Amino acid sequence: MNDATKNPMEAFHTRAKANDGIRVPLYLPTGEKSEHWIEIYGVDSDAFRLADAASRREGFKIAQLESQEARDKATAALTCRLRSKLVKNWSFDMECTEENVYQFLEEAPQIGDAIDRTASSRSVFFGIGSLGSSPTPSSSSSSTSPQKAVSKANAKVSNKSPSKPAASQKS
């Protein structure tokens, strides 16, 4: 009798696997597989869920910025910071610190997109599904979407203060 048979609800548990993380190969912008890899947590990990909650709170602050350009820049930085929280380790010689990961993802946004897609794919953490960081363009961000929080915050701000225009959500 396996654990899922003892307690059928356990078949739905994802947190432990998300906390363990997975190793993902890195692809060059040309699509060629590199010698490097990155270990990432899943979106159901404790670390990411805490970072996501903080990101949503920060999104409300960003929504109150006067300038659209300032909101756009702050949202992009927030997205990059949130994605950096998904990174557990990497194969680069440089130490895998939050600041180093942030700088890497800022300069290689295609890797951030791939991390986002993979971390959001729960089946990958169970050995099912596609694993990789090929630089395929993504039309929407699946796990790291402070833009959604900013848009929701803008709606609340605009309801309370009609003189402030709401920021448009970038697609």
Between 105 and 4, the more confident residue is 105
Domain-embedded: residue 70:
yes
Three-class HEC string of 80-93: HHHHHCCEEEECCC
Domain-embedded: residue 9:
no
Mean pLDDT of the 148-161 span: 45
Domain-embedded: residue 167:
no
Domain-embedded: residue 27:
yes
The parent domain of residue 102 ranges over 14-160
Domain count, the chain: 1
Which of 4-8, 57-61, 94-98, 103-107 is predicted least confidently? 4-8
Domain-embedded: residue 8:
no
Using the predicted structure, report yes or no on whether residue 36 has a pLDDT greater than 50.
Answer: yes
Which of 27-41, 51-65, 89-103, 157-171 is predicted least confidently? 157-171
Q: Concatenate the DSSP letters of all residues of 24-52 into one string.
A: EEEE-TTS-EEEEEEEE--TTSHHHHHHH
Domain-embedded: residue 169:
no
**pLDDT on residue 128:** 82
Q: Concatenate the DSSP letters of all residues of 76-134 into one string.
A: HHHHHHHHHTTEEEESSSS---HHHHHHHHHH-HHHHHHHHHHHH-GGGGGT-S-----
Domain-embedded: residue 74:
yes
Domain-embedded: residue 151:
yes
Encode pLDDT of 96-110 as tens digits. 999 999 999 999 999
| Residue position matching structure tokens 């960003």 | 62
Encode pLDDT of 60-81 as tens digits. 999 999 999 999 999 999 999 9
pTM of the model: 0.74
